[in-house]
Chain A
Amino acid sequence: MPPLHELQRAFAAAMMEGKGLTVTTSMRTGPARRSLALYRRLIRNNYVQTLKITYPVLRRLIGGHYFNVFARGYLKRYPSTSGDLFAYGQHFPLFLLQLESPRVLIELARLEWACHELHQVADSPLPSQEWIQTLATVDPSAVTFRLNPTVRLLRCVLPVHRVWYALQPEADGNGIDGLSLSPEEGGLLVTRGRGKIHVRSLSPNQWWLLQAVRDRKTVAVVECMAREFMPDLDLAQFLTGLSDPVMGPVFSLEIHP
């Protein structure tokens, strides 16, 4: 009997690279080969199932057959490195990019990965009224924005959020027909509010402001940016809209002494 480590290494190679298990002579028989084939199938199905759960809209868009082809290719290039499968699909958008897949698939995958991540991040509590009242008395140059953990900003060329909404499980999928996917400037705001994921498109100006929020600029700086470059934007209304408890609060504020 070979040492356990050698045996496990050979078994893993047999699973992932399709090699026979030659480390032990008695495993070269027909029944043993059938056993290995079954394990290979079960292991592969586990990963495909994990990716199906992480990328349900992408799968619905391209169909199960093509999705499985992509998933099997991904498994070969990006083997799992953790006993926890939550992060297994994190490189799938990159994998699609490496394959030079259509941009809509890559951007949709990025959106779905952001949605997947948001399911497990720390909650973002709404600020209390007392705290907001305190804030009004503080110098705006001493207050910085902070993007909440339940938020992702995605730079997308295509409005893939329309595909995402049209192919949700409760949608009949017909809305995908005739959907306009012309390139748009701006980006997407993905939030978790009350346990659900919400996706909103951002105009270029809104995107720029939220970049400043993400970069932890002060309230004074953001106000100045809005005044100078977006005179038509009602900043207070925009920020209030980003504090909607249903959609999930987008930012919090930190007071610096």
Chain B
Amino acid sequence: MTLHCPAPIPARAGIGLRSYHFREIMESPPPVAWMETHPENYFGEGGTALRTLERIRVDYPLSFHGVGLSLGSTDSIDSTHLRKLKEVFDRFQPTFVSEHLSWSSVDGRFLNDLLPLPYTEESLNLVCAKIDETQTELQRSMLIENVTQYLTWPDSTIPEAEFMAEVVRRTGCGILLDLNNVYVNAVNFHLDPVRFLNAIPSEAVQEIHLAGFDRVGRWLVDTHGQAVYPEVWSLYEWALHHFGPRPTLIEWDTNLPPLAELVEQASQADAMLGACYATPA
């Protein structure tokens, strides 16, 4: 089955789609506006995951959030991975496709994590070239997400938000703004999250992520294994008034809760989006 028309995603809350919840979603479709999933989970040629997504796609607009393209790597883009992405996107026609402003491979060896780039002119040129190549191959624009960092490269010459703004300017891509990542980085490195958000071009922000973190020693770690923390909800409220209402995802990937808890988090985001609509900036 091929669906030809991407459904628009409204500025409401969605949830991450994980196989753990497949049966519950099929039996009782939850009251959320849209869903997001990792395209890499649908690279196969058949099976339950593909069939389930085909059915879910009928009722919910989709956003695909890639984790394996390694846009910041000095390796060339894995053409097989990119071809598979295109096949999945052509098949399911997601409204948004996104990837991370990070790297995860070098010399053909993968670390399969979202590793931070030094924000330099060299990195900027590399990332923009990779995004251009990806968007050309996919024949569509993509969103780029800010990642958590547990180290800062001391020789970075461009602030992260300015780096993202320049990527947007050069490539025409959009931004997937992960507010949990902004908060985690701000706490870990004693940064001002509002200063970061003020440097992000408002019109480029097309989707927002909210998630939970864990404390590991002195670090906050972006585990996606908890409910959204009050401090991140506060930052979200600020961001909604600053950027305006945006499609917002409750991202929960580990230590998965019952579907009802995920939906409750989405309802909370919807309530804040509703308040934002009622109170123009």
Q: Which segment, of A2-10, A93-101, A135-143, A152-160, faces chain B?
A: A2-10
Task: Establish whether residues A24 and B106, one from each chain, have CB atoms under 8 Å apart when the complex forms.
Answer: no
B80's closest neighbor in chain A, by CB? A82
CA distance A26 to B70 in the complex (A): 25
**CB of A117, distance to nearest CB on chain B (Å):** 9
CB of A230 within 8 Å of the partner chain = no
Task: Establish whether residues B151 and A84, one from each chain, have CB atoms under 8 Å apart when the complex forms.
Answer: no
Task: Establish whether residues A82 and B74, one from each chain, have CB atoms under 8 Å apart when the complex forms.
Answer: no
A interface residues, tally (CB under 8 Å): 43
Task: Establish whether residues B49 and A84, one from each chain, have CB atoms under 8 Å apart when the complex forms.
Answer: no
Q: List chain A residues, Cβ under 8 A from B126.
A: 4
Task: Establish whether residues B110 and A82, one from each chain, have CB atoms under 8 Å apart when the complex forms.
Answer: yes
**CB of B161, distance to nearest CB on chain A (Å):** 20
CB of B109 within 8 Å of the partner chain = yes
Known: A12-B111, A32-B151, A83-B110. A3 touches B69 (CB 8 A): no
Task: Establish whether residues B43 and A86, one from each chain, have CB atoms under 8 Å apart when the complex forms.
Answer: yes
Known: A24-B155, A192-B47. A80 touches B68 (CB 8 A): no
Q: List chain B residues, Cβ under 8 A from A1.
A: 118, 120, 153, 155
CB of A223 within 8 Å of the partner chain = no
CB of A203 within 8 Å of the partner chain = no
Q: Which segment, of A42-50, A169-177, A179-187, A232-240, faces chain B?
A: A42-50
Task: Establish whether residues B47 and A4, one from each chain, have CB atoms under 8 Å apart when the complex forms.
Answer: no
CB of A36 within 8 Å of the partner chain = yes
CA distance A80 to B217 in the complex (A): 28
**CB of A75, distance to nearest CB on chain B (Å):** 11
Task: Establish whether residues B122 and A38, one from each chain, have CB atoms under 8 Å apart when the complex forms.
Answer: no
- Select one of A8, A36, A39 contacting B103, CB under 8 A: A8
CA distance A28 to B154 in the complex (A): 11
- Best-buried of B106, B154, B155, B221 by chain A (most CB within 10 Å): B106
Q: List chain A residues, Cβ under 8 A from B216.
A: 38
A42's closest neighbor in chain B, by CB? B113
- Best-buried of A42, A82, A84 by chain B (most CB within 10 Å): A84
Which secondary structure dominates chain A's binding surface? helix
CB of B198 within 8 Å of the partner chain = no
Known: A11-B115, A84-B40, A86-B40. A119 touches B49 (CB 8 A): yes
CB of A204 within 8 Å of the partner chain = no
B117's closest neighbor in chain A, by CB? A4
Q: Which segment, of A57-65, A106-114, A120-128, A209-217, faces chain B?
A: A120-128
B104's closest neighbor in chain A, by CB? A83
CA distance A85 to B68 in the complex (A): 9
CB of A79 within 8 Å of the partner chain = yes
CB of B78 within 8 Å of the partner chain = yes
Q: List chain B residues, Cβ under 8 A from A192.
A: 47
CB of B123 within 8 Å of the partner chain = yes
CB of A195 within 8 Å of the partner chain = yes
CA distance A248 to B34 in the complex (A): 33
Known: A8-B74, A85-B68, A86-B44. 14 other contacts (CB 8 A): A1-B153, A4-B118, A4-B122, A5-B106, A16-B109, A34-B217, A38-B221, A39-B115, A43-B113, A88-B112, A119-B47, A120-B44, A122-B45, A150-B46
18 contacts between A and B (CB under 8 A): A1-B153, A1-B155, A3-B122, A4-B117, A4-B123, A15-B111, A24-B153, A26-B155, A34-B217, A38-B219, A39-B115, A46-B112, A83-B69, A83-B78, A119-B48, A123-B46, A149-B46, A192-B47
Chain B residues packing against A (C-beta within 8 Å): 40, 43-49, 51, 67-70, 73-74, 78, 81, 84, 103-113, 115, 117-118, 120, 122-123, 126, 150-151, 153-155, 216-219, 221
